[in-house]
């Protein structure tokens, strides 16, 4: 396991004599050391190199091997075979230092007078002893922390146990980069220091292979403090779901600390997967439940009430439906908006069921109150704004239905929310939140949209104008709409339509002639104004029914 590996830094700290200095290649100090070898004075230069070796080289002996070789060439050849570091006695050339940095192969210089064979043998003994010790401790840690994970103790309990095992402070960082828990005798400011390090940790986490059973470990220096830390990412199916950190003075961050943080991150990965599985199952079940409520596809009121109770939902309470739709509907928009809506509802501790539905997102707000429309409107606008931000679609709109109780009220509130959204977008423009309660006249017209008397009134009043526009493209209905919007002023109507005033006057005369109407008559103006609003409602109603038929097919 990589977590139990011995690194170049471990060998430097634990085996190499005092006074050993790092000449170059410091970015490779975390590379793992599998074995140690020494330069031979006859070919081959090293015994069979299998990868992961640290070499001990007297620089003067290189010429005895081959007078055409220098340190840089030996280092290059050693690296090509899998070597990870080199400790030398003697001077290093500028070219060897450049090779060390380029290959990220730490180049260490031992003090003069050191017997290199003694240091080599000490390194071999250290590797063998550490392998045995680390393997035993790794098994103990694995068992202890996995038992916590499998018992469902949670990540916090795992972090607490790591702090006990290492006698060092430990911190848990979530997917958003927030420090959610600190255990042990943590110095003041540790959580802020860890939080500040998250961007760098994320960049590292994005570049390493993540295996839940064997997550990588690296050492990190926390800026502005005297603390170092060993850090391991918590793997998940989607990448890094957080980090586990053990902090302390550099000298105390030994292999045991590295083992503990890696095993703890692995145990936390189990908890993350468990929580994700529970969340996904609940979201799927809630989505199916919301779908049945919106479509009315449940067997009976009693059955749906009981199903709601099993989900912790009281359908006898007051409920309100909020619908969200983007200006450019797509599967990506729907998925991103769904996550954003759920996160917003969760952050505000609102009780709601949130699900995707027919290309949009629906939130059934629970325990809503008919007299608290302003609170519902604020929540709906917060969800809409977050969905717009997350999806990058500023045209995202929201519609709010009226409050009601019982399963049937959910479907009714949903239809009203859809109507409020569509009418708000048409009348007020994109990127707004509209409430059915504030639709005014349109509420009545929506209720009568499928009534034959409404269509007969519409056809009798403006039928000739519609036929004229269809035949000639005369835009009489558009002119009439602008005329009313400008309070009957031909001059303002001309400005609104970017036409000459005489053109507007001509069209108004044609409206009177074609429709056999008098725009000076108050009753006629009322009827015409009403027909323009009927046209909005009929068009939206037809579009809604067409969309429903497409979904059903």
Q: What is the mean pLDDT of residues 173-188?
A: 83
**pLDDT exceeds cutoff 80 at 214:** no
222-247 pLDDT per residue, tens: 877 777 888 888 888 777 888 899 88
Residue whose pair of structure tokens reads 């779908």 in the numeric block: 291
**Phi (first) and psi of residue 336, to 5 degrees:** -70, -45
Q: What is the mean pLDDT of residues 260-272?
A: 84
Under 8 Å between Cβ of 386 and 343: yes
Cα torsion through 489, 491, 493, 494, rounded to 10: 160
Distance CA 143, CA 148 (A): 9
Under 8 Å between Cβ of 531 and 462: yes
- Identify the pLDDT of residue 368: 65
- Identify the pLDDT of residue 263: 85
Pairing of strands 239-248, 228-236: antiparallel
The token pair that represents 336 in the structure block: 């991103």
Closest CA to 234 of 296, 175, 156: 175
- Identify the pLDDT of residue 553: 44
Sheet with 218-221, side-by-side order of all strands = 179-183, 170-173, 239-248, 228-236, 218-221
**pLDDT exceeds cutoff 60 at 542:** no
Q: Which residues are CB-neighbours of 345 under 8 A, at least 6 positions away?
A: 352, 354, 363, 379, 383
**pLDDT exceeds cutoff 90 at 332:** no
**pLDDT exceeds cutoff 80 at 211:** no
In angstroms, the Cα distances linking 76 to 90, 93, 96, 256, 502 are 18, 14, 9, 33, 88
Q: What is the mean pLDDT of residues 274-286?
A: 79
Q: What is the mean pLDDT of residues 257-282?
A: 81
pLDDT higher for 169 or 449?
Answer: 169
Closest CA to 268 of 302, 287, 293, 245: 245
157-166 pLDDT per residue, tens: 888 988 888 8
DSSP string for 134-187: HHHHHHHHHHHHHHHHHTT--HHHHHHHHHHHHTS-EEEE-TTS-EEEEESSPP
66-124 pLDDT per residue, tens: 888 899 999 999 999 999 999 999 999 999 999 999 999 999 999 998 999 999 999 99
336-351 pLDDT per residue, tens: 899 899 888 888 888 8
pLDDT higher for 276 or 138?
Answer: 276
Question: In CATH, what number does 296-439 get?
Answer: 3.30.70.270
Task: Spell out the domain ranges in the chain.
Answer: 2-129, 152-276, 296-439, 447-552
Residue 2's pLDDT band (boundaries 50, 70, 90)? very low
**pLDDT exceeds cutoff 90 at 549:** no
What count of Cα atoms within 13 Å lies in the side-chain half-sphere of residue 116? 22
* Whether the model pTM is above 0.75: no
449-454 long-range contacts (CB < 8 A, ≥24 apart) are 449/537, 449/538, 449/541, 450/541, 454/534, 454/538
- Identify the pLDDT of residue 3: 43
- Identify the pLDDT of residue 547: 47
7-47 pLDDT per residue, tens: 898 899 889 999 999 999 998 998 889 899 999 888 888 88
Distance CA 364, CA 552 (A): 22
Distance CA 164, CA 22 (A): 33
Question: In CATH, what number does 447-552 get?
Answer: 1.10.10
- Tell me whether residue 163 is exposed, middle or buried, using C-beta atoms within 10 angstroms of its C-beta: 0 to 12, 13 to 18, 19 or more: buried
- Identify the pLDDT of residue 535: 78
Chain-centroid distance, C-alpha 24: 39
Pick from 135-149, 180-194, 350-364, 475-489: least confident:
135-149
510-524 pLDDT per residue, tens: 888 888 888 888 888
pLDDT > 70: what percent of the chain? 91
Q: Whole-number mean pLDDT of the chain?
A: 84
Residue 448's pLDDT band (boundaries 50, 70, 90)? low
Q: What is the mean pLDDT of residues 435-459?
A: 72
96-109 as b/e: b if 16+ CB within 10 A: bbebbbebbbbbbb
- Identify the pLDDT of residue 531: 82
- Identify the pLDDT of residue 384: 92
Helix spans in 429-521 (H): 441-447, 452-472, 476-485, 490-497, 501-515
- Identify the pLDDT of residue 235: 84
Query: Do the domains spanning 296-439 and 447-552 agree at the CATH topology level?
Result: no
- Identify the pLDDT of residue 552: 43
Under 8 Å between Cβ of 240 and 250: no
- Identify the pLDDT of residue 551: 40
Q: What is Dmax (Cα atoms) for the chain?
A: 116
Domain 2-129 classification at class level? alpha beta
Distance CA 483, CA 497 (A): 10
Q: Which CATH superfamily is domain 152-276 in?
A: Dynein light chain 2a, cytoplasmic (3.30.450.30)
Region at 338 (left for phi over 0; alpha for psi -120 to 50; beta for the rest): alpha
120-157 pLDDT per residue, tens: 999 999 988 887 776 667 676 777 777 777 777 788 88
Pick from 68-82, 346-360, 376-390, 440-454: least confident:
440-454
pLDDT > 90: what percent of the chain? 23
By three-state DSSP, how is residue 312 classified?
coil
């Amino acid at each position: 396991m990589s977590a139990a590996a011995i690194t170049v830094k471990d060998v430097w700290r634990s085996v190499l004599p005092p006074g050993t200095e790092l000449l170059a290649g410091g970015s490779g100090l975390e590379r793992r050391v599998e074995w140690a070898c020494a330069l031979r004075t006859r070919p081959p230069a090293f015994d069979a190199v299998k990868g992961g070796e640290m070499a001990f080289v007297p620089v003067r002996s290189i010429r005895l091997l081959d007078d055409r070789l220098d340190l840089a060439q030996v280092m290059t050849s050693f690296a090509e075979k899998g070597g990870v570091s080199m400790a030398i006695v003697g001077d290093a050339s500028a070219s060897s230092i450049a090779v060390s940095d380029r290959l990220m192969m730490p180049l260490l210089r031992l003090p003069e007078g050191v017997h290199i064979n003694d240091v080599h043998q000490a390194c071999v003994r250290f590797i063998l002893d550490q392998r045995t010790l680390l393997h035993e401790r790794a098994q103990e840690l694995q068992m202890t922390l996995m038992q916590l994970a499998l018992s469902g103790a949670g990540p916090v309990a795992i972090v607490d146990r790591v702090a006990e095992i290492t006698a060092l402070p430990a911190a848990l960082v979530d997917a958003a980069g927030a420090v959610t828990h600190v255990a042990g005798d943590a110095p003041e400011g540790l959580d802020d220091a860890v939080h500040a390090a998250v961007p760098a940790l994320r960049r590292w986490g994005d570049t390493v292979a993540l295996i839940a059973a064997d997550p990588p470990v690296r050492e990190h220096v926390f800026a502005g403090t005297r603390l170092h830390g060993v850090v391991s990412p918590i793997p998940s199916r989607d990448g890094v779901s957080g980090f586990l950190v053990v902090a302390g003075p550099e000298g105390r961050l030994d292999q045991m600390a590295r083992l503990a943080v890696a095993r703890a991150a692995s145990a936390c990965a189990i908890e993350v997967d468990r929580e994700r599985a529970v969340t996904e199952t609940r979201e799927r079940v809630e989505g199916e439940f919301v779908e049945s409520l919106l479509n009315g596809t449940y067997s009976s009121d009693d059955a749906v009430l009981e199903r709601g109770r099993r989900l912790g939902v009281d359908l006898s309470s007051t409920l309100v439906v909020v619908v969200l739709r983007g200006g450019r509907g797509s599967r990506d928009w729907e998925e991103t908006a769904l996550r954003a809506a759920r996160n917003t509802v969760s952050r505000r501790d609102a009780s709601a069921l949130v699900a995707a539905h027919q290309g949009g997102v629906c939130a059934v707000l629970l325990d809503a109150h008919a007299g608290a429309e302003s609170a519902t409107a604020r929540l709906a606008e917060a969800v809409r704004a977050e969905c717009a931000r997350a999806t990058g679609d500023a045209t995202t709109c929201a519609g709010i239905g009226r409050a009601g109780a019982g399963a049937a009220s959910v479907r009714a509130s949903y239809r009203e929310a859809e109507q409020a959204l569509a009418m708000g977008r048409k009348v007020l423009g994109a990127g707004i939140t509209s409430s059915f309660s504030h639709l005014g006249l349109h509420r009545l017209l929506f209720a009568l949209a499928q009534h034959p008397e409404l269509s007969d009134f519409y056809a009798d009043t403006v039928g000739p104008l519609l036929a004229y526009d269809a035949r000639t493209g005369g835009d009489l209905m558009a002119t009439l709409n602008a005329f009313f919007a400008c309070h009957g002023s031909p001059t303002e109507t001309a400005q609104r339509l970017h036409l000459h005033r005489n053109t507007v006057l001509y069209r108004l005369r044609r409206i009177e002639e074609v429709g056999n109407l008098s725009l000076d008559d108050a009753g006629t103006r009322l009827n015409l104004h009403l027909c323009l609003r009927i046209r909005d409602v009929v068009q939206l109603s037809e579009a809604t029914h067409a969309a429903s038929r497409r979904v059903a097919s």
